[in-house]
Amino acid sequence: MTIAEKILAAHAGLDSVEPGQLVKVDVDFALGNDITAPIAIKTFRQAGVKTVFDRERLALVSDHFVPNKDIMSAEQARILREFAAEHGIVHHYDGGESGVEHVLLPEKGLVVPGDVVIGADSHTCTYGAMGTFATGVGSTDLAAVMITGKTWFKVPRSIKFVYRGNLRPWVGGKDLILYTIGDIGVDGALYMAMEFTGPVIDSMSMSGRFTMSNMAIEAGGKVGLVSPDDTTLNYVTGRAVRDSVLYRSDEDAEYARVIDYDCSEIEPQVAFPHLPENTRGISKVGNIPLDQVVIGSCTNGRLEDLALAADVISGKKVSKGLRLIVLPTTPTVYMQALREGILATFMNAGAVIGPPTCGPCLGGHMGVLARGERALATTNRNFVGRMGHPKSEVYLANPAIAAASAVLGRIASPDEL
């Protein structure tokens, strides 16, 4: 079996499963945020249930519209706050304790290798980087899990992606996943498990792996998985709240497809509006002036991402007329970036430093685009109106490209600096 099949079989109490099979599984951890959880809470209450399945295996994270941008978002956060107090939810994150959920929860060790994790947010697939079957669900599905601790899946087929060769300068996980999406399309892995393998993945940091798994959903994937190894174990050791179970695909596992990539041929990628599949190498971008650059999000707002961007922008200034917004993803990331002088580097360059929040990624706040404006972001989506006005444009790239572009006022490579 594949790693996806093994995890689902174990959680369904079965010896084996096969693609297309419907299985009911035990859920190890569930999460909702200030947009999706209020709907789940309403459904939970309508069901007349008195308590959640496990107050230590549910996280409520206020991260999308916080600090609250208006009355409606304040009401949303209040619903989470009251429900958490009513049911004694251990992992409720708000205010100075909160951060972008998909960085915060692994950081706190709440999701571990071998888990089944569901979240009422499409980028829950991020945790697949740890060898976790993690996927997004609707708010009513979250409510059902809050009640029962169980959910059902159709066992997905798997695509194996093998990354070989040597990475070019400035190329990282963001570029590999953009290149992959550009190759197979936004529906190229529809309801499939994307399994990322090969020597390049073996040598990649957890930060890069999280980035790749995060964007599996942008190819239609159900999950984006990396088999756990020493890098994974080094990450979870000392932080995991539960024991890990390490699943790996069998050598004779069956795949829908196996796709090989020579990474030495992949340059830094830029996704053009209005789909993540509209990718081009940086050398083929041309002259595209920018109004705004955003560095952050559950895709590329970790310390490693901020450090890379700061190295590129150090000693330089943001282009006149351009806004650079930097959003560390958690209080821990913020504090480390502060201690290491990373935030000072950005501020000296003329950047705005925001709190740990999703903010402009979903067009929420702290960087919404006006009509006709153009932004480059380290985020994961560039749909029409994603970051603001429907007549604005969003381009996606890695943190190094973002930093260089902020200096030059147009999409550019650090090599140009």
DSSP per-residue codes, 225-281:
E----HHHHHHHTTT-SS--------TT---SEEEEEEGGGPPPEEEPTT-TT-EEE
The C-alpha atoms of residue 186 and residue 189 are separated, in whole angstroms, by 8
pLDDT at 23: 98
pLDDT at 158: 98
pLDDT at 142: 97
Residue 137 dihedral angles phi and psi, to the nearest 5°:
-135, 170
Please say whether the structural domain 3-260 has been given the CATH code 3.30.2290.10.
no
Q: Which residues contact 413 (CB under 8 A, 6 or more apart)?
A: 170, 268, 282, 283, 401, 404
Domain coordinates of the chain in residue numbers? 3-260, 270-411
* Six-digit token string for 299: 């895709």
* Six-digit token string for 171: 């190329």
Question: For 16-47, what is each residue's pLDDT tens digit?
Answer: 999 999 999 999 999 999 999 999 999 999 99
The C-alpha atoms of residue 160 and residue 237 are separated, in whole angstroms, by 27
pLDDT at 59: 97
Q: In which order are the strands placed within the sheet that holds 393-396?
A: 279-281, 269-271, 393-396, 374-377, 292-295, 323-326, 352-353
Task: Give, in words, the CATH class of 270-411.
Answer: alpha beta
pLDDT at 209: 98
SS3 388: strand
> Quick count: other Cβ atoms within 10 Å of Cβ 252?
6
Of the candidates 293, 300, 302, 279, which has an alpha carbon nearest to the alpha carbon of residue 321? 293
H or E element in which residue 300 lies: helix 297-300
* Six-digit token string for 114: 């071998």
| Same-fold call for 3-260 versus 270-411 | yes
H or E element in which residue 135 lies: strand 133-136
The C-alpha atoms of residue 268 and residue 102 are separated, in whole angstroms, by 24
Q: How far is CA 87 from the centre of its chain?
A: 28
Burial class from Cβ neighbours inside 10 Å (0-12, 13-18, 19+) for residue 132 reads buried
Question: For 335-388, what is each residue's pLDDT tens digit?
Answer: 999 999 999 999 999 999 999 999 999 999 999 999 999 999 999 999 989 999
> What residue ranges of the chain have pLDDT lower than 70?
none
Residue type, 241: V
pLDDT at 3: 97
Q: How far is CA 304 from the centre of its chain?
A: 14
Q: Which DSSP string corresponds to 27-59?
A: -SEEEEETTTHHHHHHHHHHTT--S-S-TTSEE
| 215 secondary structure, DSSP code | G
pLDDT at 193: 98
